[in-house]
């Protein structure tokens, strides 16, 4: 086995062109190997010491989050917290401080788990993954990227260099809410992200995506009826019903399919509610799970 420590993106790409697989924080790869899930790849390139991957750059129309940005950075980065709050909500719920300090956004995205926390926020915020090889870059939407549990459409030599997210218009807000049985070291049983833009008191646009209820992150369709409403009880019910109907959850150790189908509706409803309130200018601290409801600190 060999491992190269890259100090630039070019070095990463060269190593991958030669067959290496990238490793960032190792929170999926190493933990999985030690658990006997899959052996470590024979040839690795470490990408955690590439400074250009660890930046958040706010442009005129979009923001580029380097794939090496850690969850700990995401939950505190001013640009992320203010513009893409759902990502900060999600990053703050991942694992433990140790996991968040080494685990990266790029790693989370390319691992492709349907239970990943940052996935649903990226979908509702319209993010694209920037995939790069020695021959150049292309961008794919998140739905194009994830093709199944743990599977992406990226070629073997394509490296995720960044996630690029359009800057939201004024009066926008987003949130990620997760069902959790305990308050640390938890994995999503179900989770939901929402991104909302308001026009005055009513909803101008809304997107909702769901965690851990389908083979990949699932965007909820048919929410057009919400546009023009001010999100009160009937609309909340519509979101919950749509989420529950479109989810295709499984029964496993963590929950039955019936319980998942019910709670995904609850999470979706709460995510939209928190996103609306943020869009209205209310300061709801990150993560929503600790600011509101059962998980709240007080």
Contacting positions for another protein (CB under 8 A): 35, 179-187, 253-256, 259, 262-263, 266, 293-295
For the bound state, the minimum distance from the C-beta of residue 165 to another protein, rounded and expressed in Å, comes to: 29
For the bound state, the minimum distance from the C-beta of residue 238 to another protein, rounded and expressed in Å, comes to: 16
Question: Based on CB atoms, which residue is closest to another protein, 14 or 259?
Answer: 259
Question: Based on CB atoms, which residue is closest to another protein, 18 or 258?
Answer: 258
Per DSSP, the three-state class of 264 is helix
Place of tokens 């609850």: 266
How far is CA 37 from each of CA 28, 212, 298, rounded to the nearest angstrom?
10, 19, 39
For the bound state, the minimum distance from the C-beta of residue 187 to another protein, rounded and expressed in Å, comes to: 6
Residue 151 DSSP symbol: E
Report the candidate in 204, 24, 173, 7 with the shortest Cα–Cα distance to residue 101: 24
Question: Based on CB atoms, which residue is closest to another protein, 37 or 82?
Answer: 37
Q: Say if residue 43 is exposed, middle or buried (CB neighbours under 10 Å; 0-12, 13-18, 19+).
A: middle
Question: Based on CB atoms, which residue is closest to another protein, 162 or 189?
Answer: 189
Q: CA angle at residue 273 from 269 to 276, to 5 degrees?
A: 140
149 and 116 in contact (C-beta within 8 Å)?
no
Please name every residue paired with 21 in a beta bridge, in sequence order, or none if there are none: 44
For the bound state, the minimum distance from the C-beta of residue 170 to another protein, rounded and expressed in Å, comes to: 32
For the bound state, the minimum distance from the C-beta of residue 184 to another protein, rounded and expressed in Å, comes to: 4
First to last CA, the chain: 50
For the bound state, the minimum distance from the C-beta of residue 112 to another protein, rounded and expressed in Å, comes to: 18
| CA quadruple 36, 92, 102, 109: dihedral, nearest 10 | 60
Question: Based on CB atoms, which residue is closest to another protein, 138 or 183?
Answer: 183
For the bound state, the minimum distance from the C-beta of residue 253 to another protein, rounded and expressed in Å, comes to: 5
Question: Based on CB atoms, which residue is closest to another protein, 47 or 177?
Answer: 177
Question: Based on CB atoms, which residue is closest to another protein, 64 or 290?
Answer: 290
**How far apart, in whole angstroms, are the C-alpha atoms of residue 19 and residue 15?**
7
């Amino acid at each position: 086995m060999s491992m190269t420590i890259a100090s630039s993106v070019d070095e990463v790409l060269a190593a991958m062109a030669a067959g290496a697989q990238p490793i960032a924080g190792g929170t999926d790869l190493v933990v999985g190997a030690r658990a006997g899930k899959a052996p470590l790849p024979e040839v690795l390139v470490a990408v955690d010491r590439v400074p250009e991957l660890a930046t958040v750059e706010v442009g005129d129309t979009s923001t580029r989050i380097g794939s090496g940005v850690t969850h700990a950075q995401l939950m505190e980065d001013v640009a992320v917290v203010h513009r893409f709050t759902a990502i900060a909500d999600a990053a703050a719920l991942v694992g433990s401080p140790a996991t968040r300090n080494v685990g990266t956004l790029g790693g989370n995205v390319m691992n492709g788990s349907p239970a990943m926390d940052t996935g649903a926020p990226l979908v509702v915020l319209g993010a694209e993954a920037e995939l790069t090889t020695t021959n150049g870059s292309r961008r794919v939407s998140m739905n194009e990227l994830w093709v199944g549990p743990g599977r992406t459409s990226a070629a073997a030599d394509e490296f995720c260099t960044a996630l690029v997210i359009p800057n939201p218009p004024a009066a926008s807000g987003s949130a990620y809410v997760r069902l959790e049985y305990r308050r640390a070291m938890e994995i999503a049983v179900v989770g939901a992200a929402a991104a909302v833009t308001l026009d005055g008191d009513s909803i101008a646009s809304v997107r909702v995506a769901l965690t851990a209820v389908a083979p990949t992150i699932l965007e909820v369709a048919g929410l057009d009826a919400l546009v023009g409403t001010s999100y009160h009880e009937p609309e909340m019910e519509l979101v919950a019903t749509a989420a529950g109907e479109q989810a295709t959850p499984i029964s496993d150790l963590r929950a039955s399919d019936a319980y998942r189908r019910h709670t995904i509706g609850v999470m979706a409803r709460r995510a939209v509610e928190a996103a609306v309130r943020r869009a209205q200018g209310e300061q709801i601290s990150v993560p929503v799970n600790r600011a509101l409801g059962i998980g709240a600190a007080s």
